[in-house]
Structure 1
Amino acid sequence: MSEQIITAATVNLDVDAGDDPSAVINHLAENLGEAGRTSDPADLARAALAREAKSATGLPGGIAIPHARAASVSQASLAMARLSKKVDFGAPDGPADIVFLIAAPEGGASEHMKLLSSLARALVRPDFVASLRAARTDDEIVDLVDGAINPPAAGSSTTAAASTEKAAPQKVATDTVTTQKTAPVDSSTPAAPTSDKPMSIVAITACPTGIAHTYMAADALKYAAERAGVDFHVEPQGSSGTTPFTPDVIAGADAVIFATDVGVKGKSRFHGKPVIESGVKRAINEPDAMIAEALAAAENPHAAVG
């Protein structure tokens, strides 16, 4: 890749970018224009606001990830603002102070999409978000984000971006989690199956752009499955490519989760399985509840059969 996706020039720390999402998005689009990442900041802002109108991009924990594809974008890029005055992006728990504008070219290369999806997955992790809030300089932010989207190879020395060591691998494939034992969690976490063999849940996540929510939902469900102690497989149907479930994985599934805002590819594969369906953002906001519902459906398969 010839240039970094984020640079110090596209980081805005402790800035007052306005009172509403439109102002913040326009501010960040102008920032990308000044950095030479878009030839038409207004066009990029319009595309991001159109995406925002379909589904607000605020997430739990004070984060927002407005994003868009636009012909005016020359290469996949990020602009980040840590806001001195929080702005409501529609998250269930309140306004955001950490905002990333994700700008992708129309027909963007899959490698760029993989990098952007890796950032989205890192934003599910509280340790990474805490590091963004604690950073004192623009360069620290760049290092943290670079560590999330380009994690060091196994065995390499620890860097300033060590908090991103659990970032997603660059090859986006079907994720698998198997957890026999559970750590103590709060009462909202679904109880683990009591049999020797854990129940198996499969999930598909997808959103219109396939850049951010698809992968954030996949990881939120994966972590919830770990807490619940269930066997879990997820197929993110996103812009960086899809690795379909094997027939054996589907055959072994006790329940299916569809967390999508677009049509599921290959939905007929799951015929006869108990299904829980929702929009993709619910999987990000309420992953434990969705895993619990899938477990309940597995126990009573006639209640929700696809």
Structure 2
Amino acid sequence: MREFIQQDPHHTADMIVRSRIDRYIRQSENHLAEHRRHRQSAALLRQLSRFGLHKQIGQACVERAAHFGPARQFDGGFFERIDKALGNSGVVSLEAVSLTAMGSDVKGKTGHFECFHDLDEKLNELGNINLVHLRAAWFMEDVSAWTGPVAKYGRIAWFCKPDLKMPWVATDDIAWLAAKELTNPTGRHRVYLEVGSEDVSMNELAVIIGKEIGRPVEYRYIETTRKDVEAEFLTRFGTPEKWQDDTLSADALNNGIVRFHGEHEDRPKLPTTMEVFIGDVWKPRYLEAVRAGDQRETFPMWTARD
């Protein structure tokens, strides 16, 4: 059975699963609203709704996996509620999609990626689900953090090595793929898909942005071991836990621990390239930043300063 809104509303089992998981999503929103990736996940849910998809188990996982920070572990009650909802619904088999992330195959201290390993493991314990794990790359929407720095300094700065190829994906493409998997199920019990349209390094990203806006853009590599940067971050921009998560994530990427494997897992072809995204989505935000002039100094702004 597939879970999406356009099913017959008289199917009692569908309604039970829908109401219980919707209730969990509403509860989780109160706790996760302050997290940036949650807002991106909420945008993804709106995209899924445009395809007429029900906010079912996989989408609840989107919300719970969005919680980055000190309390990254998934509470046992979350999975118990899902298991109970399924057990009480009379559903024999359910098609579900989980938005997880690259690095979810790695057990260990990988920063932000660590919680997704736990998510995959726990969801795989649920028996009556035909489950597709979408291991998403970096969201292209994250590049919006650098509109201000590019507008003011012509520069972006981050912890990843300049020539490190990393996968990127637009959330619109994730929504399209989730819709495709739910409406055209394969019937396989556990499926992992690597979800990224292309691999782009930070140096290449700077070139793409520069070409689009008609001015040179520089990439500045910030080493995670720099104590002066850590001290400034902790004084002005974030907590020790956030610093640890950010730097562990970057180290895992820089050392090749977290990556897409390609030859071992399926990677569907997706339509949105970084060039298209920068032109259609990022550039208008950049132009707004140019018009706005001086902005509040964020960590990306501070690291990009002259």
TM-score by length of 2: 0.26
Larger RCO of the pair (alpha carbons < 8 Å, separation 6+): 2
Q: Which has the higher strand share?
A: 1
TM-score by length of 1: 0.26
